[in-house]
Structure 1
Amino acid sequence: MTSTKRLLLIGGYTDHLLKAARASGGAEIVWCQFPEEIRPEHADLASEIFPVDFTDWEQLRPVVEKAYEQGAFDAVVSLTEPGLDPAARVNDLLGLGGTGYEVSHRFTDKWLMRRRLAEAAAPGAAVVGAELVTDRDGMAEFGARYGYPFIVKPTSGTASFGVVKVNGPEEVEGAWQEVCRLRDSGHPLIGAYDIDRFIMEEFVEGPLCSAEAFSFDGHHVVMAITEAITEESNHVHVGHVMPARLTPELEAAVVRATCEFLDALGYRDGASHTEFKLSPRGPVIIESQNRVGGALLTDMVESVYGTSPQELAFSWALGLVPPMTERPAGRGGAASWLIVAEPGRVREVRGLDEVRGAASTLGVDLWVGPGDVIRSFDGQWDGLGHVASRADTADDAIRVCQESLSALRIVTEG
């Protein structure tokens, strides 16, 4: 007789609970979540629910210890950015064997990631220049040393929040003022991220792509390479296309660079989403997360490559599936696009049922409805969700996705 496994899920959404239930083989699911995010319907999706600010370790630790006394956990998983380091702390506390805090924090702190890459670089290898922001003069000195443009961004956070491109010496003062403003205003997810430290990075030319990988006890499998379409005015990734339209040689270089990067950071188990610039000197790491990427990428991977990386995160952590030994073969293409609308109060949403019901639609994650207020589109966080579509090729997927996006109308007023 086999005892029931017990899974701790930190943060996330209703969809994460559903995927945990599907992939965990009947495991008991214990959920730690912000109190304001818990809904009555969640009671049917988890064995136990603990309302707690899971980003505060002093609050989370006693809750986890109390839950552990009631039954040992076989694994802890988080699929959301604010929950990654807390889940890693639980791994260390309980000795569960998954990713520990030291490794996880190399992903969630962009400054630590840059330092680690510089330490691990082979002699003569190209390294992206990076320094912490201290004051306005330090920013000017960085520009003089590494040239313009350069990028300023928070060391933690998500959705491209707070990214500033400094194009010349005349923009240093404005960039410094923006850093000061962002430190005072914080991230839209107040409490989930501390927007305090900022990093400066040498600007890398080239189109952007990402590698969606999964690591099996140190063996890294790049499941997909995604091409990103970026809005140059605010650095927002408005579109994602899979598979990326790359030459075989460049694709092989991305796969090789991904595996080397994950080895350098000491990452051994779980999903990762690693962004590259395809520069003249080859693939250059921009940043990475030890989780599946957003923008409905998990739906796209499942459609094109036949595996859900989010469900795999649960089943692998619980020891329910064997490791992949090679990259999965792809079939067809997929694309997702960011939903935007004119600023104002939402009066009506048109075409949502038709888009969701279309055979080509993989998913729609619209975050607003009538009565909600839409801000100006200044960054990724001002997007309203995504539409994802599938088709026979990547080019066709882009066309179908944009047609669906045109059919979805968000009417605002005021």
Structure 2
Amino acid sequence: MTRPNRILLVGGPGYQLQKAKDLGLDVVYVQTEQDFSPEYRDLVDDVVLTDYTDWPTLRPLVEKAYEKWGFTAAVSLTEPGLDPVARVNDLLGLGGTPYEVSHRFTDKWLMRRRLAETPSSGLRPVAAELVDGQDSLVRFGETHGYPFVVKPTGGTASFGVTVVQDRAGTEPAWHHVQHLRDGSGHPLIGAYEIDRFVMEEYVEGPLYSAEAFSFGGRHVVLAVTEAITEKRNHVHVGHAIPARLATDVEEAVADTAVRFLDAMGFRDGSTHTEIILGPDGPVICESQNRVGGALLTDMIQDVYGHDPMSMAIGWPMGLVEPLPDRPERRGAAASWLLLADEGRVERIEGLDEIRAAPDTVAVDLWVGPGDQVRPFAGQWDGLGHIAVRGPDTDTAVARARAAAGRLRIHTRPA
């Protein structure tokens, strides 16, 4: 028999379990064995330890868990869990986002195809094709011009993204694609199939994101975030809300996100939609049907008074009231990516002082003594984030950068 207060939560860190408990929910937790900690036991009714990205393995385990526990909704707020949860929704008739819609977000090629098939959305089209050998890179450049972008159709955090500047750059770009297909050795990509790559027209302009929540097909943009990007490798080293934009431009970015979600057929839950402010206006970069990373949920709660992570867990359970309109802000916040020299971590200084500072919103540090720090080649090579509040965005950004500088992660060469 189903229990109206029981949810299936797939993947994600332990603090999401606590958010579910704070909502009064019982939890059946699906997690990989290496990512499950014993202290999570007190927060869950049952645990399914498996590679949840392997659907033939996950399906019978979920069916048994459903027969035993009778959860009424399935949720994931981590990228590798989005499609598996959508499959669970379809399998058990739980409602929520179906696999067809979810996969339009997790597969960047399908996203481009969907937008090309819905010209009524009014969104500015972006030329895109699948990579099929170095010749395809050359043809794309000759047809659509240089530079252009090459990136995996799956994955997240800007992993594998490269910009082809000219015809000479097609050869190293093709070698880069082959290297990633053969296995780059990066420890954090096992959950993604890095096999297909898409070429996209390059759109010049700064990057923003719309953090939205959808209530039965009505989309409310909670915040427009400014991404501060490292030009060398296109990594977002900082995030700030509210974005430093004129009111009419900010509204255009939010409207672009709403029209995009309609075109994608998305109806319920959190989304993080990245938008380039190009010479001709906002252009969709990509989107995820989940909450944004980089402590954005903490910053949104601090500035706008709503926690999109708790909303995403509570909405399918009927525990969240729809927002009538975009929320009013109170101050600003910014987060900054934490970095260190390559090597093995020896000690960390300044963490307690930063956590205790009155302007600190949150700290998310992923390493400790003994952990290995990789060369900084992409966002996944960052070590966490620090989020700081301020009376305005300029002040918040300055404070976040200063706080990141005060956290000293000492390493020794491996």
Shared fold, TM over 0.5: yes
63, 66, 77: which one aligns with 1:65: 63
Q: Distance in 1 between matches of 2:371 and 2:122?
A: 53
Structure 2: tracts of 5 or more residues without a match: none
**The one of 91, 94, 97 aligned to 1:93:** 91
The separation in 2 between residues aligned to 1:77 and 1:125, in whole angstroms, is 29
- Residue 123 of structure 1, CA deviation: 9.4
Distance 1:380 1:321 in 2: 32
Q: Which whole-Å CA distance do the structure 1 matches of 2:381 and 2:399 have between them?
A: 24
Counterparts in 2 of 1:89-168, with a 5 A limit? Answer: 89-122=87-120, 126-168=124-166
CA contact (8 A) 1:55 1:191 kept: no
Query: Whole-Å Cα distance in 1 between the matches of residues 139 and 363 of structure 2?
Result: 45
Structure 1 residues 44-85: Cα deviation after superposition (integer angstroms, max 9, x where no partner): 011111101100011111111001111322111000000000
Which moved further from structure 2: 185-194 or 369-378? Answer: 185-194
CA distance in 2, matches of 1:194, 1:127: 26
1:384 is matched with 383
Equivalent pair of 1:213/1:223 in contact (CA under 8 Å): yes
Q: Distance in 2 between matches of 1:39 and 1:382?
A: 23
Counterpart check, 1:273 vs 2:259: no
The correspondence for 1:36, drawn from 29, 34, 37, is: 34
Listed one character per residue, the Cα deviations across residues 342-382 of structure 1 (whole Å, up to 9, x for unaligned) are 11111111101101111111111111111112111111111
Evaluate the alpha carbon distance shift between residue 127 and residue 373 of structure 1 in structure 2; reply closer, same or farther with a 3 A threshold: same
The alignment-based identity, stated in percent, is 59
1:77/1:87 contact within 8 Å kept: yes
* Residues in 1 aligned to 2:102 and 2:274: alpha-carbon distance in whole angstroms: 17
Task: Provide, for residues 125-180 of structure 1, a one-character-per-residue CA deviation record: whole Å limited to 9, x for no partner.
Answer: 63100000010000000000111110000000011100011011111000000000
1:253-268 pair list within 5 angstroms: 253-268=252-267
Question: What's the secondary structure of 1:215's corresponding residue?
Answer: strand
Task: Write out the 4+ residue segments of structure 1 that deviate beyond 6 Å after TM superposition.
Answer: none
The letter of the residue matching 1:402 is R
Q: 2:144 and 2:8 mapped to 1: Cα distance?
A: 45
Equivalent residues in 2 for 1:244-259, closer than 5 Å:
244-259=243-258
Specify the alignment match of 2:315 in structure 1.
316
SS in 2 for 1:365: strand
Partner in structure 2 of residue 373 of structure 1: 372
Q: Is the 8 A contact 2:121 2:260 kept in 1?
A: no
1:228-307 aligned at under 5 Å gives the runs 228-307=227-306
Q: Deviation of residue 269 (structure 1)?
A: 0.1
- Structure 2: which amino acid aligns with 1:41? E
Partner of 1:5: 5
The residue matched to 1:122 in structure 2 has which SS? helix
**Alignment pair present for 1:335 and 2:330:** no
Deviations 1:184-240, CA, capped at 9 Å, x for gaps: 115533431010000000000110000000000000000000000000000000000
Q: State the SS of the aligned residue for 2:95.
A: coil
Normalised to the residue count of structure 2, the TM-score between the two structures is 0.97
* TM superposition shift of 1:385: 0.5
1:123, 1:296 → 2: CA distance? 31
Given the superposition, is the C-alpha separation of residues 232 and 67 from structure 1 closer, same or farther in structure 2, using an over 3 Å criterion? Answer: same
Partner SS for 2:120? coil
1:198-213 alignment, distance < 5 Å: 198-213=197-212
Q: Which residue of 2 aligns with 1:15?
A: 15
Query: Contact conserved, 2:53 with 2:84, CA < 8 A, in 1?
Result: yes
Amino acid at match of 2:155: G
* Structure 2 counterpart of 1:77: 75
Q: Equivalents in 2 of 1:292, 1:4: separation in Å?
A: 24
Q: Aligned partners of 1:188, 1:239: CA distance in 2, in Å?
A: 23
1:35 and 1:84 map into 2 onto residues whose CA distance is 18
Aligned residues: 411
Summarize deviations over 1:278-319 as a string: whole Å, max 9, x none: 011111000000001100000010000000000000111101
Deviation at 1:38, TM superposition (A): 1.1
Alpha carbons of structure 1 residues 123 and 347: separation in structure 2 relative to 1, 3 Å: closer
Given that 1:213 and 1:222 are in contact with CA atoms closer than 8 Å, whether structure 2 keeps it comes out as: yes
Say yes or no: does 1:179 pair with 2:152.
no
Supply the distance in 1 between the matched residues of 2:63 and 2:88 (Cα, whole angstroms): 9
Distance in 1 (CA, whole Å) between partners of 2:193 and 2:105 is: 15
- Whether the 8 Å contact between 1:4 and 1:28 is mirrored in structure 2 is no
Please report how far the alpha carbon of residue 28 of structure 1 lies from its aligned counterpart in structure 2 after TM superposition: 1.4
TM-score by length of 1: 0.97
**CA distance in 2 between partners of 1:94 and 1:76 (Å):** 10
Q: Structure 1 residues 67, 124: CA separation in 2 closer, same or farther (over 3 Å shift)?
A: closer
Counterparts of 1:98 and 1:124, CA distance in 2: 26
The answer to whether the 8 Å contact 1:149/1:165 transfers is yes
